[in-house]
Amino acid sequence: MTADLFPVPDEWATQARIDAAGYDRLYAAAKDGPDAFWLEQAKRLDWIEAPQKAGDWSFDEADFHIEWFADGTLNAAANCLDRHLIERGDQVAIIWEPDVPTEEPRRFTYRELHAEVCRFANVLKANGATKGDRVTIYMPMIPEAAFAVLACARIGAVHSVVFGGFSADALAGRVQDCDSRIVVTADEGRRGGKRVALKACVDEAAAQAPSLERVIVVRATGGDVAMGERDVWYHEAAAQVSTDCPPEPMNAEDPLFILYTSGSTGKPKGVLHSTGGYLLWASLTHEWCFDYRPGDVWWCAADIGWVTGHTYILYGPLANGATTLMYEGLPNWPDASRIWQVVDRHRVTGLFTAPTALRALMKEGDAPVTATDRSSLRILGSVGEPINPEAWRWYHEVVGEGRCPIIDTWWQTETGGALIAPLPGATALKPGSATRPLPGIFPQLMDEKGEVLEGATSGNLCITGSWPGQMRTVWGDHDRFFQTYFTTYPGKYFTGDGCRRDEDDYYWITGRVDDVINVSGHRMGTAEVESALVLHAKVAEAAVVGMPHEVKGQGIYAYVTLNGGVAASEELAAELKHWVRREIGPIATPDAIQFAPALPKTRSGKIMRRILRKIAEGDTGALGDTSTLADPAVVDDLVANRVG
Ligand code: WT7
């Protein structure tokens, strides 16, 4: 197995912020004296009132609570802006790279960003936003999206960013769930040369979201949009306000943001993050994992609609005073060289992207990569799904020319930032493994019976204690928070992931063990796609499972039972795909639809997903025990008519 081990290169071991001994020291300190350790770490933030208390938590039902730095006061936006003004006010904070490569990038120094955020904050205030209000942000990847996020943080409003690729229905549900009165949007978004009608989607959503009173519209493309009574042009409102806006003092436990994510059941959950703990985790992990140092140009190629964008485009890098790149477009548009051209144009030192993007680019061969320079790169990150060793090696050898450590970060929307990941100066790498837990993170593998598994083994991944970046609740449903994460294995946080631990104590995430699938690094609840399908008038029942997909990691495979008298056809399959796309968004579009006269159910009426998964995977030889099915013949029909 030694061939699969990439030791820490000498120059990294000697120059990185943290070497192997440093990691061991941090890990031991966090374990042996957590209060002192975390209070010391917390000093990296700028507190209005420094905390005297670190973590105070219990995962037990009787005393369930999670708090960090609860007597501390700070403002997240001031940490990302104001405190940098003296030392690096003229340093570039955000580089914005436009969709169209012939257009000019935009750059904002910390001083300029500070002014823009204050201006945006005053526009929010002028429209009635106050501390604790929820503001929904439905934006393309333009600088104003960052201004809006930080403006909320500045005035203590809770932002809920909804990915610009979600449908009007999905947006309406999220606006309504957290009672947002204000939505911030743009006329249109641009991606890969195409336009996305964001404002029109907000109008459609408004019809189903009575809480919505005000829509602040940024003019991004200049495209035609209808402006109604509740709509305000941002540029008009901005001309009326000053750039003076003092940051609101927030308790460390005050909410910073909500981010909706799919679960195994029902509608998306509003994952709520706190101000102090989250910001500390974002800042600390950005420095630990990516060996951040002044002068770096950091590019996290995610969308701010996902937690990766929150933590590693905005909060982490800006809290650390970094230069962070925000890219409007797609990695492979206008051609497969674009991502590397952007790296060269801005002399990017660290790139953080998803395996799905790497697999798509790999298919185009090495030439689009080798045609570019990339000599500025020193670190490469991966996130969102397991990275297959083949993509890992390509990233390492072709993209990084063997020079850059690959930092495979395992985490979740719920965890706020990375939990299991290598430190470039400390951890030998193994392609496909997220390697070792970060300091303060204590993973455990559990079996189905609730027993702790020791040594080299596979099981369900739990985290035994809290860490500052842990989510605090599900918005509006604290009981759901407890039920979802703390009841499967009482006293522990259950991640929903399966995992293998090898003989070197390295962790290998094997994927979700619940009814959540991972499509191109995006989390999708199969139940959500099923609900969308059964809303269609011709559909009686639907069951959705994941299937292996060469580029996306997992694709969406839907079994559909039609209402009596409705005939199956190619056209209907296409119509249903389009339907789901409209109901949820393009990322939820099924890759395959199989019409089935019936679904395999137990005698008590439970759909046997295990069988559906196997058929979708094409693994029809080993369907296992089907004797408990109400009608075993159903399976033969499914196997015979498999799509793909
Ligand atoms: C799920 C969380 C992490 C932020 C973006 C996705 C999977 C994430 C990895 C990785 C293997 C990974 C897990 C996790 N996942 N990163 N490096 N290796 N699997 O956040 O949408 O909340 O999804 O993504 O299954 O539970 P998310």
Mean per-residue pLDDT pooled into runs of 10, the chain (644 residues): 81 95 98 98 98 98 98 99 98 98 98 98 98 98 98 99 97 98 98 97 97 98 97 98 98 99 89 98 98 97 98 98 98 97 98 97 97 98 96 98 98 98 98 98 97 98 98 98 98 98 97 94 94 97 96 97 96 98 96 95 89 92 81 90 90
Any ligand 1 atom below 6 A from CB of 523: yes
* pLDDT tens track for 138-171: 999 999 999 999 999 999 999 999 999 999 999 9
Backbone angles phi, psi at 368, to 5 degrees: -60, -25
Residue 477, marked binder: no
pLDDT score for 402: 97
Any ligand 1 atom below 6 A from CB of 386: yes
Whole-angstrom distance, CA of residue 47 vs CA of residue 251: 10
Residue in 384, 411, 421 with CA at minimum distance from that of residue 517: 384
The identity of residue 244, as a single letter, is D
Residue 412, marked binder: yes
Q: Can you list the positions of beta strands (E) in 550-636?
A: 553-562, 592-595
Any ligand 1 atom below 6 A from CB of 412: yes
Residue nearest to atom 5 of ligand 1 (CA): 384
Question: How many angstroms separate the alpha carbon of residue 521 from the centre of ligand 1?
Answer: 7
Question: How many angstroms separate the alpha carbon of residue 343 from the centre of ligand 1?
Answer: 25
Whole-angstrom distance, CA of residue 291 vs CA of residue 305: 25
Question: How many angstroms separate the alpha carbon of residue 276 from the centre of ligand 1?
Answer: 23
Residue 346, marked binder: no
Q: Can you list the positions of beta strands (E) in 393-538?
A: 406-409, 443-446, 452-453, 457-463, 473-474, 493-501, 507-512, 516-519, 522-525
pLDDT score for 1: 45
Q: Is the peptide bond before 334 cis (omega within 30 degrees of 0)?
A: yes
Any ligand 1 atom below 6 A from CB of 331: no
End-to-end CA distance of the chain: 35
- Cβ 77 vs Cβ 45: under 8 Å: no
As a whole number of angstroms, the longest Cα–Cα distance in the chain is 74
Residue 413, marked binder: yes
Atom index in ligand 1 nearest the CA of residue 523 equals 21
Residue in 321, 327, 282 with CA at minimum distance from that of residue 301: 327
Residue 467, marked binder: no
Residue nearest to atom 23 of ligand 1 (CA): 412
Any ligand 1 atom below 6 A from CB of 303: no
- Cβ 435 vs Cβ 13: under 8 Å: no
Both tokens assigned to 43: 């000093």
Question: How many angstroms separate the alpha carbon of residue 384 from the centre of ligand 1?
Answer: 4
Atom index in ligand 1 nearest the CA of residue 495 equals 26
Sign of the Cα pseudo-torsion (468, 471, 473, 475, in order): positive
What is the ipTM, given to two decimal places?
Answer: 0.99
Residue 540: partners with Cβ closer than 8 Å, 6 or more residues away: 534, 561, 562, 563, 564
pLDDT score for 3: 56
Q: What is the DSSP letter of 587?
A: G
Whole-angstrom distance, CA of residue 228 vs CA of residue 462: 49
CA 511 remoteness from chain centre: 15
* pLDDT tens track for 18-29: 999 999 999 999
The helix (run of H) or strand (run of E) holding residue 639 is helix 633-640
Any ligand 1 atom below 6 A from CB of 554: no
Bridge partners (DSSP) of residue 67 are: 56
Whole-angstrom distance, CA of residue 433 vs CA of residue 407: 10
Both tokens assigned to 478: 């604290």
Question: How many angstroms separate the alpha carbon of residue 416 from the centre of ligand 1?
Answer: 11
Strands 214-218 and 231-233: parallel
Any ligand 1 atom below 6 A from CB of 310: no
pTM of the entire predicted model: 0.97
Any ligand 1 atom below 6 A from CB of 497: yes
Token pair 């798509």 is found at 360
Whole-angstrom distance, CA of residue 73 vs CA of residue 4: 46
Whole-angstrom distance, CA of residue 102 vs CA of residue 336: 16
Neighbours of 100 (CB within 10 A): 13
Strands 507-512 and 493-501: antiparallel
